[in-house]
């Protein structure tokens, strides 16, 4: 009877030790994957930050003007603020107005 209790205790202990080691190994693997992904995220954030800096520098009005003067033979001028459309709908509405007035002018000229 005494041997049976020790045997059951040893089997229970060994089963629990096995499950513990399996769980511990899996958590280590998960932690390694998490640290790898954290490094990748940090690198991507750094690349994004550098890309934003490049974009802001290259798209600055002074830099664009300088590059146009240096590399282009064409003459460019600024666009009036009233000619800038903020949406496609605004552009289409303006085109409809222009087209309608043009058609009306043709009819008036023909008469």
* 99/36 Cα distance (integer angstroms): 59
Eight-state DSSP code of residue 83: G
> Residue 85's domain spans which residues?
79-111
Same domain, 30 and 69: yes
CA distances, 61 to each of 5, 15, 81 (Å): 85, 71, 15
CA distances, 110 to each of 96, 105, 107 (Å): 21, 9, 5
Number of structural domains, the chain?
2
Q: What is the pLDDT of residues 46-95, one digit of tens each?
A: 999 999 988 888 888 888 888 888 888 777 777 777 777 888 888 888 77
Same domain, 14 and 54: yes
* 107/62 Cα distance (integer angstroms): 47
Percent of the chain surpassing pLDDT 90: 42
Same domain, 36 and 74: yes
Residue 104 has pLDDT above 70, yes or no: no
Task: Please state the pTM of the whole predicted model.
Answer: 0.49
Same domain, 40 and 91: no
Same domain, 92 and 59: no
Same domain, 111 and 74: no
Chain-centre distance for alpha carbon 8: 58
């Amino acid at each position: 009877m005494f041997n049976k209790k020790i045997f059951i205790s040893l089997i229970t202990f060994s089963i629990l030790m096995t499950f513990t080691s399996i769980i511990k190994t899996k958590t280590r693997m998960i932690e390694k994957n998490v640290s790898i992904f954290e490094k990748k995220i940090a690198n991507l954030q750094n690349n994004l930050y550098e890309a934003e800096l490049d974009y802001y520098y290259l798209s600055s009005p002074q830099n664009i003007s300088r590059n146009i003067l240096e590399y282009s033979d064409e003459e460019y001028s600024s666009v009036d603020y009233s000619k800038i459309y903020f949406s496609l709908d605004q552009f289409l509405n303006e085109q409809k107005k222009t087209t309608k007035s043009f058609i009306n002018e043709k009819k008036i000229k023909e008469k």
